[in-house]
């Protein structure tokens, strides 16, 4: 069997909502679109039919993918974590010594990562480097542009 994949409760909920949307609304709409395109006659030269079938393939593939991700998810509620070390789910505030600026990231699962909203994957170089550290520790992280030095100023689980 596949290995479990860590995921926050928020990320798990988001995947379930997307799956529900696809099954309840997108799938029936695609079936309706295919039926309507079929009613237009010759399928060999019917662009509407081809587009609807392509969309059906995408929707069914995404449903299968979401079902798998939900099945192998190890859902972790960050609010239940009690530690002073950085682990999965931590919201970490750090001072970037090079640019003298504070940054905050939450360490999340691969499917939840979105740097624009401050969520980094546990498997990213930064995520892996932070795990196990505590407040007031300096962390040297190798990134494509070189080595970044951060001082951890706060860790919270919310």
Give the mean pLDDT of 9-15.
94
For 87, the domain range is 78-156
Split into its structural domains, the chain has a count of 2
- Whether 65 and 24 share a structural domain: yes
CATH number of 49's domain: 1.10.287.180
For residue 95, give the nearest of 155, 153, 157, 156 by alpha carbon. Answer: 153
- Whether 94 and 150 share a structural domain: yes
Task: State whether the Cα torsion 140-143-147-150 is positive or negative.
Answer: negative
- Pairing verdict, β 91-96 and 73-76: unpaired
pLDDT digits (tens, 9 = 90+) for 14-44: 999 999 999 999 999 999 999 988 887 776 7
pTM of the model: 0.80
- Whether 38 and 103 share a structural domain: no
Whole-number pLDDT of residue 128: 93
Boundary-marking domain end, from 76, 111, 129 = 76
The model's confidence at residue 2, banded by pLDDT at 50, 70 and 90, is: low
Query: How far is the C-alpha of 23 from the C-alpha of 88, rounded, in Å?
Result: 30
- Whether 61 and 99 share a structural domain: no
- The better pLDDT of the pair 14, 3 is held by 14
- Whether 86 and 66 share a structural domain: no
Whole-number pLDDT of residue 1: 47
- The better pLDDT of the pair 146, 154 is held by 154
Which of 6-10, 38-42, 85-89 is least confident?
38-42
């Amino acid at each position: 069997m596949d290995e479990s994949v860590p995921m926050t409760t928020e990320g798990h909920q988001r995947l379930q909502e997307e799956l529900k949307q696809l099954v309840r609304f997108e799938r029936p709409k695609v079936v309706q679109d295919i039926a309507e395109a079929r009613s237009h006659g010759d399928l060999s030269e019917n662009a509407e039919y081809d587009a609807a079938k392509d969309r059906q393939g995408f929707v069914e593939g995404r449903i299968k993918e979401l079902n798998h991700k939900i099945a192998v998810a190890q859902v972790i509620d960050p609010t239940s974590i009690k530690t002073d070390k950085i682990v999965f789910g931590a919201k970490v505030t750090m001072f970037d010594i090079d640019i003298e600026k504070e940054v905050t990231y939450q360490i999340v699962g691969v499917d939840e990562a979105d740097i624009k909203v401050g969520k980094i994957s546990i498997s990213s170089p930064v995520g892996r480097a932070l795990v196990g550290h505590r407040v007031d520790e300096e962390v040297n992280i190798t990134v494509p542009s070189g080595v970044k030095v951060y001082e951890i100023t706060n860790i919270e689980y919310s």
